[in-house]
Amino acid sequence: MKTFPFIYNQPKEFLNFLQPKEWADFFLGELNPRFSVTTTKAKVIDIRDETADAKTFVLKPNWLWKGFLSGQHVPVTVEIAGRRVTRFYSLSSHPNDKYLQITVKRQKGGLVSNFLNQNTKKEDILEIGEASGEFVLSKELPKELLFLAGGSGITPIHSILRDLQALNYNGKATLLYFVRSVDDIILKSSIDLIEKNNQWLTVHYILSDVPKEGYTSGFLTKEILDQYVPNLKSTSVYVCGPSPMQTKALSLLEGLPVKSELFLLPGQNLTNVKKEGTVDVYLSLSHKTIQVKGERSILDELEEQGIYPQSGCRMGICHTCVCKKQAGAVTDLSNGEKSQLGEENIQICVSRAESNLELEL
């Protein structure tokens, strides 16, 4: 019978057994919760109220942070009721700032946005990941820019405006920011200051629900675009906001260079259906077979039965939940396309079971 020291034939195998990084993380965490050799952690050093339902969190990351580009987003992981949950938030600060900022608006049914706004305090530690995303300025800046923001969609655009300021932009930029009321304008003081100090920027706040003297009222329309952006055909456009606003914007701006970014809440804009009976899902790594209705995402239906696969954004962006489908068919909820019956990798947060499945979970 082999004894413990001799079951590892290579030094690397023995080191893997000892898990030195995990031990290092443990001891470093005892010295300072922000210290880690494996995980980017950030200390909350300030919290600012932006509106009644939005806060800016100022974060001091540890040495693993690799930086970001204006307009990118970052995964934020918190533990809620014993579960690690990850959501993506755009960085509202500028890359040259001493500290990071994320600005989080509470969403109805938003597990993490509500948790952060209700429970996070100064000195708390948040786990963050690497910044990513293509909602960034091009290397060659256009002469004319239009930014269309709705609600919390202002956060990456605010960072981009800060970047244009740092680059001494000499073109012309217009921001149309759609909100329900004046009280819902996020980052208003900072936006107003950027406009005041830069002649290239013109800002228009457009109120959809509560009119106020001195402000335009309404929703995004061709008439509003014609009113504020007379040279629209020669303008590059950035759009970030709720799904209905983005859908409208893309239809009005067809044929123009448009960059857009849309973060969906779990289940938002994903077509749910009613089905008779159930389908079997065999989890090959767990050697379990469960029954699901195939009415919602596979991730939702697994979690409903107490099975929690690794997941992140829950909206098809981060690819944390990707697994191999070894048999069966699914529908991709992001585009409505039905998959083939054979092997393929799927994202279970935006896939719905259409037949009996075998998943490598």
Of the two residues 112 and 243, the one the predictor is more confident about is: 112
Per-residue pLDDT of 303-356, as tens digits, reads 888 888 888 777 777 778 899 999 999 988 877 788 877 789 999 988 999 999
Give CA separation, 311 vs 15, 302, 320, 322, in Å: 28, 12, 5, 8
| Residue 257, token pair as written in the block | 């260079």
> Per DSSP, which regions of the chain are E strands?
40-51, 54-61, 73-80, 83-90, 100-105, 125-128, 144-150, 172-179, 201-207, 216-217, 236-240, 258-261, 279-283, 288-292, 322-327, 330-332, 337-338, 344-347, 351-353, 357-359
Report the phi/psi class of residue 252: left, alpha or beta, with left for phi > 0 and alpha for psi in -120 to 50: alpha
Per-residue pLDDT of 237-278, as tens digits, reads 999 998 889 889 999 998 889 998 865 544 444 455 677 789
Q: What is the pLDDT of residue 269?
A: 45
Amino acid identity at 187 = L
Answer yes or no: pTM beyond 0.85.
no
Residue closest to 349 by CA, chosen among 281, 294, 297, 307: 297
Q: What is the pLDDT of residue 263?
A: 58
Report how far residue 164's alpha carbon sits from residue 141's, in angstroms, rounded to the nearest whole number: 9
Q: What is the pLDDT of residue 117?
A: 96
Q: What is the pLDDT of residue 157?
A: 98
Q: What is the pLDDT of residue 10?
A: 54
Where b means 16+ CB within 10 Å and e means fewer, 169-190 reads beebbbbbbbbeeeebbbbbeb
Alpha-helical (H) ranges within the chain are 11-18, 20-31, 111-119, 154-166, 188-197, 222-228, 243-252, 298-304
Give CA separation, 144 vs 71, 108, 201, in Å: 18, 36, 10
